[in-house]
């Protein structure tokens, strides 16, 4: 019996896969095109929503956003004015000079991301106490006002020597160093320094800058440091 001839030739198998691939690519590019088409009304709503969330104000012209028109967004002053490194260093130099004149042993340590003002605590706090001498509170306030003039983020740190302390109020040097740092922070806050720009930390005896084997070294290690953040 004769075989019936096929009316149409069979397509190669690879052509089916190729057709599927082309369909997927077409769908993908249609999706990209639809995503690139922005509704001005929806865009306006998004901008208004974001601005309201941040407490700002958005001003649009009537009739939506004309093509090529810039959006005028009035945002609140959330961050202080960015100060230059030179401006910060000059102000810290003035603070250092003032502290020396007031009879407090102080030094300045410069790092890549911050500058630290180191103040020995033997004339700032009574031994074993986290309450500053009354005579030194005006000096702390003056230092605060000088830093407030440049409005920079600061971290107030407390340090001690390695001689153990154990009292009802301070079970160890950790508590003493942290409470001293917070005591200075509270004076700054009362003087009007922005709370959002301040933090405090206590390190106890863990970061000595001198040997604890001599009275002079231990005296240097008992200190308050004010770390001033530098612009990047």
CATH code for the domain in which residue 133 is found:
3.30.1330.60
Does one domain contain both 113 and 215?
yes
Identify the band that residue 182 occupies on the pLDDT scale cut at 50, 70 and 90: very high
Q: What pLDDT score does 219 carry?
A: 94
For residue 196, the SS3 value is helix
Residues of the chain above pLDDT 70, percent: 73
Residue 8 lies in a domain: no
H-type helices in the chain, by residue range? 13-36, 40-53, 85-101, 137-148, 173-191, 215-221
Q: What pLDDT score does 19 carry?
A: 76
- 133-142 tens-digit pLDDT: 999 999 999 9
Does one domain contain both 64 and 163?
no
Does one domain contain both 30 and 59?
yes
Residue 79 lies in a domain: no
Does one domain contain both 33 and 146?
no
Residue 137 lies in a domain: yes
Identify the band that residue 83 occupies on the pLDDT scale cut at 50, 70 and 90: confident
**Are 181 and 202 a contacting pair, CB within 8 Å?**
yes
Does one domain contain both 128 and 37?
no
Q: Rg (Cα) of the chain, in Å, rounded?
A: 33
Identify the band that residue 62 occupies on the pLDDT scale cut at 50, 70 and 90: very low
Asked if residue 109 has pLDDT above 60, the reply is yes
Rounded CA gap, 102 and 130, in Å? 20
Lowest-pLDDT choice from 74-78, 100-104, 169-173: 74-78
Residue 206 lies in a domain: yes
Domain that holds residue 193: 85-229
Residue 168 lies in a domain: yes
Q: Which residues pair with 115 in a beta bridge?
A: 110, 228
For residue 208 the two structure tokens come to 């000595």
Residues of the chain above pLDDT 90, percent: 60
Does one domain contain both 164 and 214?
yes
Does one domain contain both 107 and 177?
yes
Does one domain contain both 112 and 222?
yes
**Are 221 and 177 a contacting pair, CB within 8 Å?**
no
- 213-231 tens-digit pLDDT: 999 999 999 999 999 999 8
Residue 3 lies in a domain: no
Asked if residue 89 has pLDDT above 70, the reply is yes
Does one domain contain both 92 and 151?
yes
Asked if residue 79 has pLDDT above 70, the reply is no
Residue 223 lies in a domain: yes
Q: What pLDDT score does 17 carry?
A: 77
Does one domain contain both 116 and 219?
yes
Other CB atoms closer than 10 Å to residue 60's CB: what's the count? 14
Q: How, if at all, do strands 154-159 and 198-202 pair?
A: parallel
Q: Which residues pair with 59 in a beta bridge?
A: 72
Rounded CA gap, 187 and 156, in Å? 12
Asked if residue 78 has pLDDT above 60, the reply is no
Q: What pLDDT score does 30 carry?
A: 79
Q: Is the pTM of this model over 0.75?
A: no
How many DSSP H helices and E strands does the chain contain?
Answer: 6, 7
């Amino acid at each position: 019996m004769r075989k019936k001839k096929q009316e149409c030739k069979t397509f190669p198998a690879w052509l089916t896969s190729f057709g599927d691939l082309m369909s997927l690519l077409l769908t993908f590019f249609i999706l990209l095109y639809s995503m690139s088409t922005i509704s001005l009304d929806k865009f306006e709503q998004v901008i208004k929503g974001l601005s309201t969330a941040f407490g700002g104000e958005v001003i649009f012209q009537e009739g939506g956003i004309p093509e090529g028109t810039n959006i005028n967004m009035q945002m609140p002053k959330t961050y202080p004015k960015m100060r230059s490194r030179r401006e910060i260093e000059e102000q810290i130099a003035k603070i250092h000079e003032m502290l020396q004149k007031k009879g407090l042993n102080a030094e300045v340590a410069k790092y890549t991301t911050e500058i630290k003002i180191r103040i020995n605590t033997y004339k700032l706090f009574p031994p074993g106490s986290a309450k500053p001498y009354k005579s030194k509170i005006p000096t702390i306030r003056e230092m605060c006002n000088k830093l407030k003039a440049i409005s920079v983020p600061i971290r107030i740190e407390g340090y001690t020597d390695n001689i153990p302390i154990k009292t009802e109020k301070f079970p160890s040097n950790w508590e003493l160093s942290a409470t001293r740092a917070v005591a200075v922070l509270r004076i700054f806050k009362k003087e009007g320094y922005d709370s959002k720009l301040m933090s405090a930390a206590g390190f106890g005896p863990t970061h000595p800058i001198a040997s604890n084997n001599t009275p002079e070294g231990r005296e240097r290690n008992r200190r308050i440091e004010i770390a001033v953040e530098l612009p990047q």
